[in-house]
Amino acid sequence: MNTIGNVTGIIANLVIVETEGTAGQNEICFIKHGDTRLMAEVIKVVGNKAYLQVFESTRGLKVGTEVEFMGHMLEVTLGPGILSKNFDGLQNDLNKMDGIFLKRGEYTDPLDFDSKFAFKPLAKKGDKVTAGSWLGEVKENWIAHKIMVPFKFNGEFTVKSLKEDGEYKLNDAIAVLTDKDGKDHEVTMVQKWPVKVPIKAYKNKPRPFKILETGIRVMDTLNPMAEGGTGFIPGPFGSGKTVLQHSLSKNANADLVVVAACGERANEVVEIFTEFPELEDPRTGRKLMERTTIIANTSNMPVAAREASVYTAMTIAEYYRAMGLKVLLLADSTSRWAQALREMSNRMEELPGPDGFPMDLSAIIANFYARAGFVYLPNGETGSITFIGTVSPAGGNLKEPVTESTKKVARCFYALSQQRADSKRYPAIDSIDSYSKYLEYPEIEEYLNSTISENWTDNVHEAKDILLRGKETYEQINILGDDGVPIEYHIRYWKSELIDFVILQQDGFDAIDASSSLERQDYMLQKTLGVTRMEYDFESFEDVGPYFKRVINALKQMNYSEFDSDKFKKNEKELEKILKEQKQEEKEEAKA
Amino acid sequence: MEKETKAFQRVYTKLFQLTKATVSLRAQGVGNDELAIVDGRLAQVVKIIGDMVTLQIFGGTEGIATNAEVIFAGKSPTLKVGDDLAGRFFNAYGEPMEGGEIMGEELEIGGPSVNPVRRKQPSEFIPTGIAGIDLNNALVTGQKIPFFADPDQPYNQVMAMVALRAKADKIILAGMGLTNDDYLYFKNVFDNAGALDRIVGFINTTEDPPVERLLVPDMALSAAEYYATKKNEKVLVLLTDMTLYSDALSIVSNRMDQIPSKDSMPGSLYSDLARLYEKAVQFPDGGSITIIAVTTLSGGDITHAVPDNTGYITEGQLFLRKDSDVGKVIVDPFRSLSRLKQLVIGKKTREDHPQVMNAAVRLYADAANARTKQENGFDLTDYDERTLEFAKGYSRKLLAIDVNIEMEEMLETAYALFSEHFKPEEVGIREEFVKKYWHK
């Protein structure tokens, strides 16, 4: 029998409920308002009063209204059919909702319980299994979706029976497992899991040692993201955070992508809805939508569900990771989630921390980022969640609590620079301010040098060095004037411009340049460094710019041509010609 | 039902707490957000604890005594919508200013949000005739974009111009803290243009209590939703000025003893503003709501909480600036941005539009660099001199807010300026477009 209570207080979406029964932290409740049932979550209990955050508008709600406590926390439903779906923050299938406007208290099934899926057993009778063990698989789009022993099962079980190949509905029992006391348990293709609890059905979580290829040069080459790593993108409005996240979701080498659109613009989500079913995954040729799941809680949707949305997304990612898949999780923006926490904390009249955020903000963020990672599954397979969140710092000031708390836990930092955005140098990632801690991991270094090319990390550091020195030189030229500095300064500056234009800048709207393979990145980096390593001897500073502009143009044309194609080679020849001419000229000058 | 109605009509006369904006009393059967009349003034329930109900009085509590009459209405704020809404001006409560009644349906304001999967991607270009907007920052139906302006800039005039020229079926003006002069200005401009039948106004002037402003955008947007969903019309909503709206929010949150966040704004400012701006939408059946707003800045500071949060919500922003070289107010091409322009330029407008736009802005940037060089006492090259000349023409003929020409003419004007000062290779427009459009 569920606990029943009555509403005794209402302040915006904070509702106070008096109950004689038991109430648990984070327990889900339903408030019976007229014909609708409003979903809410317990966020504090004092004596016989439970404080609920309501996931809906509380307009018209009255004191005395009955509230039912459900006895469980906010859960997601996990099973075949999650891919390609558009959910709200509470995992309601948005496509199943009637009408143009969202109706309060309307909740829809996250999965299609009437559809049949072709099941194929993987385990056999007599197998010893534990939570997360693979019992069988079904085809979901192109992914072999594993049917696992429910994560809630504790201890070891023996497979008593297992269904054979065939078509089954989600709620059909596909296996019977016997626990150590001899009790039988039926398993279906669906299971539930509370979003705020990490799924730990893995053996161990090593330090990331591989790179997640994103196709974006300024990331892969200069500040690589590890598979199973964490990163964040802070930036003022208009610096291209969302464009970069979209670009990642399009090009990253992941098996599937979960996008949590958390408290951002609805039209941006509409862009994904409209474009992804049309766009092709550059690696598999399949439609991007086939590997994408969207959790949309746009800024005008209920605030409390915004907090839930990032957890819902993470739990779905963990579910797929347990199948041995490479998952990329993107959250735009984690600041909106933190603001949702602040609004509730404020209504509960808690003592505020910095900028009015709750005191435990840092811990909440750290716990969340810790759920990402590369894992070894009990059966020896691997899976990963790479998590990249955006942060929208108030006033573009990076010394605010959300940015600072995130900086402590995320290993990659992609700083978007307003200045680069203003001068249309996209992606506007400032390669000098940004960092990837993974580049310092010996295991990553070894991986890079053994899989890409022998001198890869040395080359990367050399390029970084040139960029840094170029920036310093540029400042000096600005102060002293073009002819107030030695010609060497101009050469140094233009070498960094060369790397900027050829490696850092990338045309996200160009079919070819939008995504660059690691092999290609290696080739282009070596080509570019080949130019910067040459010795130059110019007559006047006025000759430096035009020469490098020609080189940049030739290299950019290579970026725009298909790798190793005739056009690519033609442009490469063009480049060699420019380089040769330069050497020739210098030789002649030396002779004269 | 009947019993309930009776309960609502019960008159309470015992207030136990009065602040500048709120009153509290003991009452039963009251719903959250419900309206009430306190001593003849409109109020709304903002907090209920047991039988203690706190009401926010929109008109302020001056002169209210503890024995004031309180009658609950049993409903949240509503607006009556119908055909005779058009051509009229209303106060913050949705009552016609000239008196009279509106016949029609009663809509609850501040209604639910649109299901994101039911939205359509905005794709229709809104020409305004102002090249600084159409050429560089094209607007699209379903977009939300504010002017970031200092209080002394003529943003209301530009907005009125945009509203009249945009081919919208309805223009809904939400005036918050509008000076009486500006209110009359809007009224006259719309009247003179013979556009009154397309206009609906919800006005709170500086003479009215500031907390009343909180109702104005919801009223306007509910009317907009009525026209966009029931009549499938293209609706343009003008919100002026959202900074004054936010000030009213901060007054209320302060009176409710909430902990302020940045710039003494309430911690929920982002959600409060997003709830309004996100009403901008392209509906599947052709109707649309486009929002053009004004956020006044203090001393041009865009890191203040109001413009900052707005920037994260809206799809771009427009900046006005006085160009002292030509003595005109221009739409700043550097800081202004329309995020949705990519959806229409070169697609709904001429193919070379994006190239012309970028080339002109780049040359204008070169001119700015040349000017810095000049100010620092460096010598100017011939190219520098030409960019400076180009910049003057560009400001006067295209960027100035008094420009009113068709899209085609904007592009031709740009080419005329290009060919007057530059060679095609200096402009950097794609070969095929140079062949087709360059002025010889």
pLDDT one-digit tens code per residue, B147-192: 999 999 999 999 999 999 988 999 999 999 999 999 999 999 999 9
pTM above 0.80, yes or no: yes
> In this structure, are residues B11 and B19 in contact, taking their beta carbons and an 8 Å threshold?
no
Mean pLDDT score of chain A, rounded to an integer?
92
Two tokens at A490? 């101009």
pLDDT in tens, B381-421: 899 999 999 999 999 999 999 999 999 999 999 999 999 99
Is pLDDT above 60 for A504? yes
Mean pLDDT of B328-349: 92
Q: What is the overall mean pLDDT for chain B?
A: 91
Which pLDDT score, from 0 to 100, does residue B5 have? 42
Is the Cβ–Cβ distance between A255 and A383 less than 8 Å?
no
* Cβ–Cβ contact A57 with B under 8 A: yes
Please state the domain extents for chain A.
4-73, 112-189, 217-436, 456-591
Instruction: For residues B315 and B125, give the distance between their C-alpha atoms in angstroms, rounded to a whole number.
Output: 14
Q: How confident is the model at residue A243 (pLDDT cuts 50, 70, 90)?
A: confident
What average pLDDT does range A484-503 have in this prediction? 94
Cβ neighbours for B319, distance < 8 A, ≥ 6 positions apart: B147, B148, B149, B331, B332, B335, B336
Average confidence (pLDDT) over B255-269: 84
Q: Which CATH architecture has domain B78-108+141-314?
A: 3-Layer(aba) Sandwich (3.40)
Nearest to A101 by CA among A260, A266, A265: A266
Label residue A397 by pLDDT band (50, 70, 90).
Answer: confident
A456-591 has which fold? Answer: 1.10.1140
pLDDT of residue A166: 95
Interface test with A, best of B121, B262, B312 (most A CBs within 10 A): B312
How distant is the Cα of B63 from the closest Cα of chain A, in angstroms? 27
Out of B50, B259, B337, whose CB is closest to A238? B337
Q: Structurally, what CATH architecture does the domain formed by A217-436 represent?
A: 3-Layer(aba) Sandwich (3.40)
- Is B21 near chain A, with CB under 8 Å? no
Residues 301-330 of chain A with CB under 8 A from chain B are 301, 303
- Which residues of chain B have a CB within 8 Å of the CB of A356? 259-261, 267
Contact A94 B305 (CB under 8 A): no
B88 close contact with A: CB closer than 8 A: no
Confidence of residue B2 (pLDDT cuts 50, 70, 90): very low
Report which of residues A508 and A126 the model is more confident about. A126
Predicted local confidence at residue B7, as pLDDT: 45
A9 touches chain B (CB under 8 A): yes
Residue B4: the pLDDT is 40
**In the structure encoding, which two tokens stand for residue A25, read together?**
């932290």
First to last CA, chain A: 100
CB contact under 8 A, B270 and A11: no
Residue A422 touches partner B, C-beta closer than 8 Å: yes
- Locate B123 and state its tokens: 């794709």
The H or E element containing residue A389 is strand A382-391
Kindly state the greatest CA–CA separation across chain A: 100
pLDDT band with cut points at 50, 70 and 90 for residue A247: confident
pLDDT at B3 over 50: no
**Distance (Å) from the C-alpha of residue A498 to the closest C-alpha of chain B?**
20
Tell me which range, A82-86, A315-319, B84-88, B318-322, is most confidently predicted by mean pLDDT: A315-319
Query: Choosing among A270, A344, A549, which should be mutated to test the B contact, i.e. which has the most B CBs within 10 A?
Result: A270
pLDDT band at B257 (very low <50, low <70, confident <90, very high): confident
Model confidence pLDDT, tens digit, residues B57-92: 998 899 999 999 999 988 899 999 998 899 999 999
pLDDT of B6 > 80? The answer is no
- Fold exhibited by the domain B2-72: Elongation Factor Tu (Ef-tu); domain 3 (2.40.30)
Q: Check residue A280 and give its pLDDT.
A: 84
Q: What is the pLDDT of residues A515-573, one digit of tens each?
A: 999 999 999 999 999 999 999 989 888 899 889 989 998 999 999 999 999 999 999 99
H helices of A170-323, where? 217, 241-251, 266-275, 303-321
Of B50, B260, B284, the CB nearest to A8: B50
Per-residue confidence (pLDDT) for residue A304, from 0 to 100: 84
Domain boundaries, chain B: 2-72, 78-108+141-314, 353-437
| A352–chain B Cβ distance below 8 A for any pair | yes
Share of chain B above pLDDT 70, in %: 98
Q: Is the per-residue pLDDT at A580 higher than 80?
A: yes
Quick count: other Cβ atoms within 10 Å of Cβ B224? 28
Quick one: CATH architecture of A112-189? Beta Barrel (2.40)
Which residue on chain A is closest to B258 by alpha carbon? A346
pLDDT recorded at residue B9: 65
pLDDT mean over A64-73: 95
**CA–CA separation, B434 and B415 (whole Å):** 9
Mean pLDDT to the nearest integer, A471-478? 90
Are A394 and B305 within 8 A, CB to CB? yes
Question: Which fold would CATH assign to domain A4-73?
Answer: Thrombin, subunit H (2.40.10)
Condensed to tens digits (0 to 9), the pLDDT of residues A406-421 reads 999 999 999 998 888 8
Q: Burial code of A226-259, b = ≥16 C-beta within 10 A, e = fewer?
A: bbbbbbbbbbbbbbbbbbbbbbbbbbbbbbbbbb
pLDDT greater than 90 at residue A36: yes
> B103 versus A133: which is more confidently predicted?
A133
The shortest C-alpha distance from A78 to chain B (Å) reads: 22
